[in-house]
């Protein structure tokens, strides 16, 4: 089996935007170095001054150098059929794969990361950056931050691992377990400890500081998804994350709420500002000339305040259709059916006939008011029941005037006399007005049995 040890220099950290300025590749047959490839490359853009300061590569040096597309076929012939090896392999691999793809060449190869291999072969060091690990192992780097200098040092490091701990390399390749996506400071064992459950999670840097907070229905799967692409932000996060912790919630609703609270509390460096979707559609209520209460899904113009808001017309429409069935409302008076006479549901005896005056306004409006009361409960004080973390428990989420105020978990076997006994068991949270938007988003998805209005 042959290995190709690669290092590149670039104009930036994003494979889809940054350009490669230099590439070095060293072919290793498992015993020794057998061939080399090296080229400066015209990135077809200006080299930033800070890159020149780091690498020494400037625009004058690249004048007359080939573009990547001009060396793509030769490079691909050198790479193909070999295991791709690099220090922080996802960085170099993603740049080269994107550049080859732009040149019309699809490239996929097994990968080995010398950061991860070094951690297994030489445990106990505080840092596994190329400069530090080479210093620890007395490997000299002749030209730091130049492609061939770094590639030579990485090849010597790889050769040392191959000779001292070959099983580390063979076992990593043999597993073929998708481990290559893992950040260099997260072990496979730690990854497998991450639960495949719903909750919030925290990424920590080397000092234990929280640098990102997220939510997921499957935290382990979401963790993997973070590093499946190679944008500039993802690569920076990839290199800085040293650990992950989590808090299970049992349901997505609570995960959304706690994520918002934790981002506001911690302000992690990799979290963007909290954004909330705009609700462009609303549910409106009015009384017609015959005294019947009617409902309508309409565009949220800002002139009239809707009693409930939705992200889309289809979301509002579906919610109203469901509630028509729950409260035995007339689909015509809810704006769902457009007919000249009685609605279709009356003809099949599902509607009581408010649409053709067979049901009095007083009788019908009582049902409409029950529906309205179930909605407006969220503007007062309301407890919402959700799935707990374990099958034998229920999560309780408490809102005051639409704002998330407390939560907790109670065993299903536990009995409680009223809502105030439930409230006494809940954990209070910091007041965050923005949680109103999360409640509005989830409220249409709740069943009437999940909502308990606190008098």
Model confidence pLDDT, tens digit, residues 184-229: 888 878 988 999 999 999 999 999 999 999 999 999 989 988 886 6
| Cα Rg of the chain (Å, integer) | 30
User: Does the residue 449 lie in any domain?
Assistant: yes
Q: Which of 145, 185, 204, 242 is catalytic?
A: 145
- If asked whether residues 219 and 174 sit together in one domain, one would say no
Range list of H helices, 292-360? 313-326, 344-347
Distances (CA, A) of 116 to 23, 87, 120, 269, 378: 22, 9, 7, 25, 51
Give DSSP secondary structure letters for 167-236: HHHHHHHHH-SSGGGS-TTS-HHHHHHS-SSSEEEEEE-TTS-EEEEEEESSHHHHHHHHTSS--HHHHH
- If asked whether residues 203 and 73 sit together in one domain, one would say no
User: Does the residue 271 lie in any domain?
Assistant: no
3-state secondary structure of 273: coil
| Arithmetic mean of pLDDT over the chain | 88
Supply the CATH number for residue 101's domain.
Answer: 3.30.420.10
Statement: residue 455 has pLDDT above 80: no
The pLDDT tens digits of the residues spanning 122-152 come to 999 988 999 999 999 999 998 888 999 999 9
Nearest in space to 353 (alpha carbons), one of 341, 368, 366: 341
- If asked whether residues 255 and 359 sit together in one domain, one would say no
d(C-alpha 379, C-alpha 409), whole Å: 23
Which of these three, 347, 373, 399, is where a domain ends?
373
Sorted by sequence, the CB contacts under 8 Å of residue 435 that are 6+ apart come out as: 257, 260, 261, 399, 402, 403, 404
Query: Would you give the DSSP letter of residue 48?
Result: P
CB atoms within 10 A of CB 377: 18
328: tokens are 């035995």
How distant is the alpha carbon of residue 13 from its chain centre?
A: 20
Pick the most confident of 30-44, 270-284, 379-393: 30-44
- If asked whether residues 213 and 327 sit together in one domain, one would say no
User: Does the residue 130 lie in any domain?
Assistant: yes
Which of these three, 222, 239, 266, is where a domain ends?
266
Sorted by sequence, the CB contacts under 8 Å of residue 382 that are 6+ apart come out as: 398, 399, 451, 452, 453, 454
- If asked whether residues 40 and 64 sit together in one domain, one would say yes
Q: What is the pLDDT of residue 163?
A: 92
Q: On the CB side of 356, how many CA atoms lie within 13 Å of its CA?
A: 13
Q: Which domain holds residue 239?
A: 188-266
Q: What is the pLDDT of residue 343?
A: 93
The pLDDT tens digits of the residues spanning 18-53 come to 799 999 999 999 999 999 999 999 998 999 888 998
User: Does the residue 356 lie in any domain?
Assistant: yes
Identify the H or E element spanning 164: helix 147-164
Range list of H helices, 267-418? 313-326, 344-347, 361-376
Give the number of residues written for the chain. Answer: 455
- If asked whether residues 140 and 40 sit together in one domain, one would say yes
User: Does the residue 273 lie in any domain?
Assistant: no
Pick the most confident of 11-25, 162-176, 199-213, 329-343: 199-213
Q: Is 84 exposed, middle or buried (0-12, 13-18, 19+ CB in 10 A)?
A: buried
- If asked whether residues 424 and 353 sit together in one domain, one would say no
- If asked whether residues 196 and 76 sit together in one domain, one would say no
145 is annotated as an active-site residue: yes
User: Does the residue 17 lie in any domain?
Assistant: yes
User: Does the residue 272 lie in any domain?
Assistant: no
- If asked whether residues 40 and 161 sit together in one domain, one would say yes
> How many independent structural domains does the chain possess?
4
User: Does the residue 276 lie in any domain?
Assistant: no
pTM of the model: 0.52
- If asked whether residues 201 and 251 sit together in one domain, one would say yes
Q: What is the pLDDT of residue 453?
A: 83
How distant is the alpha carbon of residue 161 from its chain centre?
A: 35
Which of these three, 181, 202, 228, is where a domain ends?
181
- If asked whether residues 428 and 349 sit together in one domain, one would say no
**pLDDT mean over 415-444:** 83
- If asked whether residues 363 and 420 sit together in one domain, one would say no
The model's confidence at residue 230, banded by pLDDT at 50, 70 and 90, is low
Q: What is the pLDDT of residue 179?
A: 60
């Amino acid at each position: 089996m042959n290995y190709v040890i690669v290092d590149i220099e670039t104009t930036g950290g994003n494979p889809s935007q940054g350009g490669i300025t230099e590439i070095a590749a060293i072919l290793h047959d498992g015993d020794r170095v057998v061939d080399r490839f090296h080229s400066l490359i015209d990135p077809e853009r200006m080299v930033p001054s800070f890159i020149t300061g780091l690498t020494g590569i400037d625009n004058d040096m690249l004048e007359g150098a080939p573009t990547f597309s001009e060396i793509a076929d030769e490079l691909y012939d050198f790479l193909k059929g070999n295991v791709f090896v690099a220090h922080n392999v996802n960085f170099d691999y993603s740049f080269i794969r994107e550049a080859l793809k732009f040149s019309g060449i699809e490239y996929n190869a097994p990968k080995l990361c010398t950061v991860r291999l070094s951690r297994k072969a030489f445990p106990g060091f505080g840092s596994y950056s190329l400069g530090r690990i080479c210093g620890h192992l007395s490997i000299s780097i002749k030209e730091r931050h130049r492609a061939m200098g770094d590639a030579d040092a990485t090849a010597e490091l790889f050769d040392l691992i191959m000779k001292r701990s070959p099983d580390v390399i063979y076992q990593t390749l043999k597993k073929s377990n998708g481990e290559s996506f893992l950040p260099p400071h997260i072990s496979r064992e730690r990854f497998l400890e991450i639960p495949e459950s719903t909750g919030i999670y925290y990424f920590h840097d080397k000092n234990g500081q929280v640098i990102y907070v997220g939510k997921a229905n499957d935290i382990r799967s979401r963790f993997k998804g973070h590093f499946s692409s190679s944008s500039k932000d993802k690569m920076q996060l990839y290199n800085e994350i040293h650990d992950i912790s989590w808090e299970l919630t049992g349901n997505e609703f609570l995960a959304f709420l706690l994520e918002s609270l934790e981002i506001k509390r911690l302000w992690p460096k990799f979290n963007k500002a909290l954004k909330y979707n705009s609700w462009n559609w609303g549910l409106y209520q009015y009384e017609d000339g015959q005294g019947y209460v009617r409902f309508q899904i309409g565009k949220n113009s800002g002139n009239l305040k809707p009693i409930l808001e939705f992200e889309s017309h289809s979301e509002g429409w579906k919610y109203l259709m469901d509630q028509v069935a729950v409260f035995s409302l007339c689909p015509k008076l809810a704006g769902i059916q457009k007919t000249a006479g009685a609605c279709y549901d009356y003809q099949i005896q599902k509607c009581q006939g408010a649409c053709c005056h067979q049901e009095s306004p007083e009788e019908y409006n009582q049902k409409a008011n029950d529906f309205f009361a179930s909605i407006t409960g969220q503007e007062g004080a309301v407890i919402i029941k959700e799935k707990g973390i374990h099958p034998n428990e229920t999560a309780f989420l408490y809102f005051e005037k639409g704002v998330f105020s407390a939560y907790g978990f109670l065993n299903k076997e536990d009995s409680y006399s009223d809502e105030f006994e439930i409230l006494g068991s809940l954990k209070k949270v910091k007041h965050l007005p923005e949680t109103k938007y999360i409640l509005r988003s989830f409220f249409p998805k709740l069943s009437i049995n999940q909502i308990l209005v606190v008098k």
